[in-house]
Structure 1
């Protein structure tokens, strides 16, 4: 009886294949990525808004968020004092960027304008600078999504500032998809409040005072609005389930 010697490379190949299969079995599941930008059918099929020669422009500055949630991973509340960082549930970009992108899209559509932050723009068009500081961004799975934000609108021509605070609490169902949708609704509510603030500043009456140059030619100087502008009121959200 004759014995055939196997090539030395075959056992090594089997060993490598077995190692690869073992590693594949131990590999962590793929990550899921979430965004706050609207991607539903209504947003995709809605006619694109054109802002040709807008009555005003906005500058939406980068949005500040609390350090504990400024992560690529979703950070969810487990109780009043503990959070969990979800490695497989991630934002498509950092939370501050997600909020800013969603707000910019909402504001430009609601105000029929252009967000010119970081871009040159023509003189002679009123510009309203919007700043948003998110002080709380809480995610309670199966309960609610909460955004507590201080925001301001500054009219650059008159330097008048409106500063407001909104605490928006959106009830959510089970699952992380529902949690992100809740945050999306909260951002939409916040954009409605900011839009109202921009409109209020734009509608505020101005005081004009004559100024005389050396040559005797009179010009007009715009002054600050004489009437106070109050913060817009949001419709109360439905009560959230207990966080528990």
Structure 2
């Protein structure tokens, strides 16, 4: 019995089939890859350049402590409200850093610009420097797409070298349009309002020298013991 030898396929055909197979594999991998993540920040949106600082030391310093946020939003993913008792964690919409870090950095930048001073948190400073420590505990950080962004925070300003302390609560709700950019901008605007209230408190405490302060009278500040009404 004899067996007929089948003709070999042309070498170019084999090479072409290999290329086609590899290309198909790459396309399949691309189809299965995760969507691109988008990253957001609460950094200041001010386009105005910061004025050059002189060599003169500021009248006082600030120390912005790390910010506490509710555990359910203390993650890189954006967490949005879908109802009074329901939230959705968005895997592709993410903060550039953890929300507590975003808030602290934005607050520090805003306060140093408004007060013409520097944030010395984690940095050594002269023993005779007047320093005001800013602490914030965010109790609610709610994101309602197409509706509003809400920040409910208790904050304090304390003169480091005395027992003088001012504790206040700010509740700010900013209306927002559709889209996640609008939602983040709403939180940024709310945080800017709170930073303006804190700046007023620092200025009031610094003005009277012993930290009793005088209120800015802005809507959204709820008086607590030690907070001017």
Residue 56 of structure 2 is aligned to residue 52 of structure 1: yes
Written as runs of structure 1 = structure 2, the 5 A alignment for 1:193-232 is 193-204=197-208, 206=210, 228-229=212-213, 231-232=215-216
Q: For residues 183 and 25 of structure 1, what CA distance do their matches in structure 2 show?
A: 35
**Pairwise CA distance, 1:199:** 1.3
Q: For residues 4 and 19 of structure 1, what CA distance do their matches in structure 2 show?
A: 23
Paired position in structure 2 for 1:26: 32
Please give the per-residue CA displacement for 1:24-82, whole angstroms capped at 9, x wherever unaligned.
12323211111111245x23x45345573111001100011001001111111011111
Segments of 5+ residues of structure 2 without an aligned counterpart are 1-6, 221-229
Residue 131 of structure 2 is aligned to residue 127 of structure 1: yes
Alignment partner for residue 233 of structure 1, among 217, 220, 227? 217
Judged with a 3 Å threshold, the aligned counterparts in structure 2 of structure 1 residues 117 and 94 are, in CA distance, closer, same or farther, namely same
- Structure 2 contact 50–113 (Cα < 8 Å) conserved: no
Q: For residues 158 and 64 of structure 1, what CA distance do their matches in structure 2 show?
A: 24
Alignment partner for residue 174 of structure 2, among 158, 163, 170? 170
**Pairwise CA distance, 1:3:** 4.8
Segments of 5+ residues of structure 1 without an aligned counterpart are 207-224, 237-244
Residue 184 of structure 2 is aligned to residue 180 of structure 1: yes
Q: For residues 76 and 105 of structure 1, what CA distance do their matches in structure 2 show?
A: 26
**Pairwise CA distance, 1:10:** 5.3
Alignment partner for residue 69 of structure 1, among 73, 95, 111? 73
Alignment partner for residue 158 of structure 2, among 154, 157, 174? 154
- Aligned-residue Cα RMSD (Å) equals 2.2
May I ask how many residue pairs the two structures share in their alignment?
Answer: 214
**Pairwise CA distance, 1:203:** 2.1
Q: For residues 153 and 84 of structure 2, what CA distance do their matches in structure 1 show?
A: 19
Judged with a 3 Å threshold, the aligned counterparts in structure 2 of structure 1 residues 193 and 119 are, in CA distance, closer, same or farther, namely same
Q: For residues 54 and 231 of structure 1, what CA distance do their matches in structure 2 show?
A: 22
Greater Cα offset, 181-190 or 47-56: 47-56
Q: Return structure 1 stretches of 4+ with deviation > 6 angstroms.
A: none
Alignment partner for residue 14 of structure 1, among 20, 23, 42? 20
Greater Cα offset, 7-16 or 69-78: 7-16
TM-score, normalised to structure 1, is 0.80
